[in-house]
Structure 1
Amino acid sequence: MEPLTTAAIAIGTVIATKALEKTGENVGQALWDKTGEFLVTLKKHSPQTVVAIEKAPEQTLDYGKAVLEVESAAKVNSELAQAAQELATAAKAEPNPNFIQLIQQLADNLKSQPQQPSVINYQKLADEMKNVFQGTVFNAPVTFN
């Protein structure tokens, strides 16, 4: 998975996990643990990004900017890159269909952000995020095609 896609999924996972938690739903323990590890690692390298992510969705998050900051930090720090990759892998294995739906919604929201072609193609990134979760068969009785 490309570093940019990994960063986008990692941030989306944190936001989706928070949203589910607020509704009383839970994600799997592995995803919960990896989310915490990712945030702790990111806080060491980009504390302002963690603050912005943790304020979402109450305060609007510039998702594209956050993704670029995580990608940039992960390129120079292997610990953060590994934490983001592990979180993205755990997210893909998460059986909660509401979690997958929230990730899809985040990808749709990313598509609607104003394009900054010289920096990032949000349409392409959102499609890559969705592709990670499409066609995946989970250990639950739900299949996404």
Structure 2
Amino acid sequence: MEPLTTAAIAIGTVIATKALEKTGENVGQALWDKTGEFIVKLKKHSPHTVVAIEKAPDQPLDYGKAVLEVEAAAKANPEVAQVAQELATAAQAEPNPNFIQLIQQQADNLKSQPQQPNTINNQKLADEIKNVFQGNIFNAPVTFN
């Protein structure tokens, strides 16, 4: 999986996990543990990014910027890269259909953000995120573009 896709899935996973927690739903223990581990490792290298991620979904998050910051932290520190990859893998294995739907919404949000010059292609990244989760069974209406 490309580093940008991994970073985007990791960020989306943290946000989706928090959103489900607010509604009283839970994700699997492995995903819960990896989410916490990712936040701890990232906080050591990019605390301002963690603050922004933790404020979402209550406050808008600049996904493009956050993804680039997570990718930079992962390149600078192999521990961050490893835990981001482990989190993305755990997210793919999560059976909760509401979690999958929230990840899809994060991808749609990424698509709708304005494209900044010299940054990532939000449309392409969102499509890659959706492709990663395409093999899962969805109980909610989800469209793939």
Q: What TM-score bracket applies, with the shorter chain setting the length? A: over 0.9
Residue-by-residue CA offset, 1:78-110 (whole Å, 9 max, x unaligned): 000000000000000000000000000000010
Match of 1:6 in 2: 6
For 2:54 and 2:102, locate their aligned partners in 1 and report how far apart those are by CA, in whole Å: 16
1:57 aligns with 2:57: yes
Match of 1:48 in 2: 48
Match of 1:69 in 2: 69
Residue-by-residue CA offset, 1:38-62 (whole Å, 9 max, x unaligned): 0000000000000011111111111
Moved more, 59-68 or 7-16: 59-68
For 1:36 and 1:110, locate their aligned partners in 2 and report how far apart those are by CA, in whole Å: 23
Q: How does 1:1-145 map to 2 (within 5 A)?
A: 1-136=1-136
Q: Which 5+ residue runs of structure 2 have no aligned equivalent?
A: none
**TM-score normalized with structure 2 length:** 0.93
State the shift of 1:136 in Å.
3.1
State the shift of 1:117 in Å.
4.4
Alpha-carbon contact 2:64-2:119 (below 8 Å) kept: no
Moved more, 113-122 or 42-51: 113-122
For 2:122 and 2:77, locate their aligned partners in 1 and report how far apart those are by CA, in whole Å: 24
Residue-by-residue CA offset, 1:4-43 (whole Å, 9 max, x unaligned): 0000000000000000000000000000000000000000
| Amino-acid identity (%) | 85
